[in-house]
């Protein structure tokens, strides 16, 4: 896994980062793919249950937007979240992402297919933090 992650990062195809809280790794956030064809990157994230609700993923998403827009030059950042994953949808909404639509059976998880919401934030909509 680490070899693959490093290889993709070196080719600027993806970027995976570990989320830390109080000197402990508690999750990950990543640009799963950069698509040169439409200058977009899609973000994925997960967080340990015991540290949820503290705004960690929200802050990480804002940082990823900065990295995507300023360092990778993407025009659009995308977040996809299972419809029934309320916390993940809330992260996208709180960060100011636009709900673009819902993909039926868009994500296959261990318990089967789930509908998936797609959110996006364009460079022109991004408010650069001061």
pLDDT digit string (tens) for 26-55?
999 999 888 989 999 999 999 999 999 999
CB atoms within 10 A of CB 44: 17
CA 72/CA 94 separation, integer angstroms? 23
The ranges assigned to domains in the chain are 2-125
pLDDT band at residue 8, thresholds of 50, 70 and 90?
low
Length of the chain: 130
Q: What is the pLDDT of residue 127?
A: 79
Task: Enter the pTM of the model.
Answer: 0.88
pLDDT band at residue 7, thresholds of 50, 70 and 90?
low
Topology of 2-125 in CATH?
Aminopeptidase (3.40.630)
Q: In this model, does residue 9 exceed pLDDT 80?
A: no
């Amino acid at each position: 896994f680490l070899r693959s992650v490093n290889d993709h990062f070196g080719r600027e195809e993806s970027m995976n980062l570990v989320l830390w809280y109080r000197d402990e790794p508690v999750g990950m956030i990543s640009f799963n793919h950069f698509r040169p064809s439409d200058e977009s990157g899609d973000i994925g994230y997960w967080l340990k249950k015991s540290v949820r609700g503290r705004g960690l993923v929200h802050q990480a998403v804002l940082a990823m937007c900065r990295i995507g827009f300023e360092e990778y030059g993407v025009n659009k950042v995308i977040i996809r979240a299972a419809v029934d994953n309320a916390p993940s949808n809330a992260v996208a909404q709180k960060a100011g992402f636009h709900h673009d639509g819902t993909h039926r059976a868009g994500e296959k998880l261990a318990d089967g297919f789930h509908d998936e919401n797609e959110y996006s934030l364009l460079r022109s909509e991004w408010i650069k933090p001061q």
